[in-house]
Every structure is written in structure tokens, then in C-alpha cells.
Amino acid sequence: MKATAKAHPIQGLVKYHGMRDTERRMPYHDSISVCTAPSHTQTTVEFRPDADEDVYVIGGEAVEGRGAERIQAVVDRVRELAGFDHRVRLESENSFPSNIGFGSSASGFAAAAMALSEAADLDMTRPEVSTIARRGSASAARAVTGAFSHLYSGMNDTDCRSERIETDLEDDLRIVAAHVPAYKETEQAHAEAADSHMFQARMAHIHAQIDDMRDALYDGDFDAAFELAEHDSLSLAATTMTGPAGWVYWQPRTIAVFNAVRRLRNEEDVPVYFSTDTGASVYINTTEEHVDRVEEAVADCGVETDVWGVGGPAEVLDESEALF
């Protein structure tokens, strides 16, 4: 009753904000993302019928408090589906920085859900596993199905699940990740989303934006897809900044990267667009032909960079790759 899995983090392209059902983490509206690789989370789990308690370890440190509660929500759903109450040991490691806006919770809960369902011998499709991962993080549902994926809204697991979108953009997309470390509190931002006076304005256009993004992906239209993603980042920020807590995630280097991207696009005709989730770090989307020039310009802003491609779905690994 042991398994190891790997999943890639996500970059939100049309991002969800706020949840209608906080216990099952069901968002108000659909969302679309792309997984980034080789960045990943690797997780090993083992159900232990004779153990007295669950043990959760991330990056070598025991997880307690709210973090443990979110993991337990995923574990308990697997136990419910499997029809047993065995205790579990879960250990996880990230290959990239966490809690700076690069989707580590998505890859973490996706890898956990994939490993747990395998260890419990549940015969599930990835869209079905995505409904388990969603209980830890709604974005994790899309990290299960991988690449470009669409999480549908709904009030049950039949509707609120993720499915992959096939597109020719997968091979040519390159993502320059600009690391801008800054503390963020995504859960609170989601909790107060509907209290922003901008929330209803966002809801009014989000459904058309989902349709437009799907069309751009089907057509393989890089500029249309990532211009939409850039605009969605600004819309999301407007909503979070006007909530009760007035969250402002961006830092001076975040804005410097935005400006560098726009100079490349406007002055050098480079196909390049920025995107952020709820954090200060920036995704810069471009093509293989232009990635070196883009990375150079972003690094000149004084930030650490990585270059990523498109990551596939969550997958079960060989037992030789177990973390314990």
C-alpha cells in the first residue's frame, strides 16, 4: 500500500478566484492553466494499518496546522473511496521554490492525490483523480491532467473536474520564470474574493474569456492566448487589491519585469507576455526562438530566472524512486 508520484506546478492562464464551496474547494467559475516543467513535486505515500497517526513531511519538515488540515482533506477522501481508515505517511519534495507564486500547492496536492489513489488501489482516470486533488487546492485538479487543462465549475465531482485541452502550442511555448520572493496568503484572498466590488465585474466577463482562451488554444494562436493570460492577471490583481485586506502582492521587481516585457514587445516585436498568479513572481511566456533574448532582458531586472517548458500530467513513478 505504497506509491510514489510526480506532478508539475501550474501557471494560471484564466485563473479562478474565490470558492462557492470551501470544504470541497469548488470555485465560482471555470479556470484554465498550463503546467510548467521540469519543475515538479515528488511525493511518496504509504498506508499503514497498524499505525496510530498520520505523518506528513514536506521538504524534510513535519507539517502541522492548516497545512496538515489541507493534506488530510485529500487523504480522507481517498480513505472514504477505498473503504478503509488506515493511517498514512506522506513525504514530499519540491524541485523549485514554494510559496512565491509558482503553483507549488497545485503540484503538491496533485502528486499526493495521484500517489494516494495508486497506493489505495483505486482504479481512476486522471479527471477522476483531479476531483481528489481539488480538495487540497482547486489548481491541483489541473495539475493532475497536466499540460493545458480546464477545470470546470460545478457543485459535484461529476461536473467540477479537470480535463486536458489539446493544442499545438505545447511544443513551442517557453516560460521564463522570474523569481521575486515575497510572502503571500492565497487562501485568505480566495476567502474574501466576493467582498471586492470588482468581483462581479470579473464574473461578468470570465465566461467569455474562458471561451476565447479555448479557441486560441485550439487555433494554436500564441499571441491571442497569452495576451488573454496577461489581461487576466491584471483583472485578478484588481479583484484581490480591492478586497477587505487590500492584498498587494507585486513588488518593485515585479513591475520592472512587466515593463521589460512590454519594451520587448513594443520596441523589438518579440512575442512575449507576462502573467502572475497570487504572488510577486512573474511568468514570462514566449517562444523557443526568442527565449534567450527574453531571459536576458528579464535577468537584467535583477531577478533569478529559470526557463521552463510545458509539463505533462501527474504520473506514478517506479518504486525505486520512493522518498522513503
β-bridge partners, 88: 47
| The predicted structure's pLDDT at residue 217 | 98
| The predicted structure's pLDDT at residue 278 | 84
Same domain, yes or no: 257 and 200: yes
| The predicted structure's pLDDT at residue 130 | 98
| The predicted structure's pLDDT at residue 103 | 85
Q: Which of 234, 247, 257 is nearest to 303 (CA)?
A: 257
The values of phi and psi at residue 8, to 5°, are -100, 150
What residue has cell string 483505486? Answer: 122
Check: CB of residue 179 under 8 Å from CB of residue 104: no
Percent of residues in the chain assigned helix, strand, coil, to nearest 5? 40, 25, 35
Same domain, yes or no: 67 and 200: no
Same domain, yes or no: 281 and 177: yes
Q: Is residue 146 part of a domain?
A: yes
Q: Is residue 237 part of a domain?
A: yes
The pLDDT tens digits along the chain (324 residues) read 999 999 999 999 999 989 999 999 999 999 999 999 999 999 999 999 999 999 999 999 999 999 999 999 999 999 999 999 999 999 999 999 887 788 899 999 999 999 999 999 999 999 999 999 999 999 999 999 999 999 999 999 999 999 999 999 999 999 999 999 876 666 777 778 888 999 999 999 999 999 999 999 999 999 999 999 999 999 999 999 898 988 888 999 999 999 999 999 999 999 999 999 988 999 999 999 999 999 999 999 999 999 999 999 999 999 999 999
Which stretches within the chain are classed as H helix?
Answer: 65-82, 104-119, 126-133, 138-145, 169-172, 186-191, 199-219, 222-241, 252-267, 291-299
Same domain, yes or no: 161 and 20: yes
Domain count within the chain: 2
Same domain, yes or no: 31 and 162: yes
The pTM (predicted TM-score) of the whole model is 0.96
Domain end among 135, 168, 201: 168
Task: Provide the residue range defining the domain that includes 197.
Answer: 170-310
| The predicted structure's pLDDT at residue 184 | 60
Check: CB of residue 110 under 8 Å from CB of residue 314: yes
| The predicted structure's pLDDT at residue 221 | 98
Same domain, yes or no: 134 and 89: yes
Q: Is residue 322 part of a domain?
A: no
The domain that holds 298 is classified in CATH as 3.30.70.890
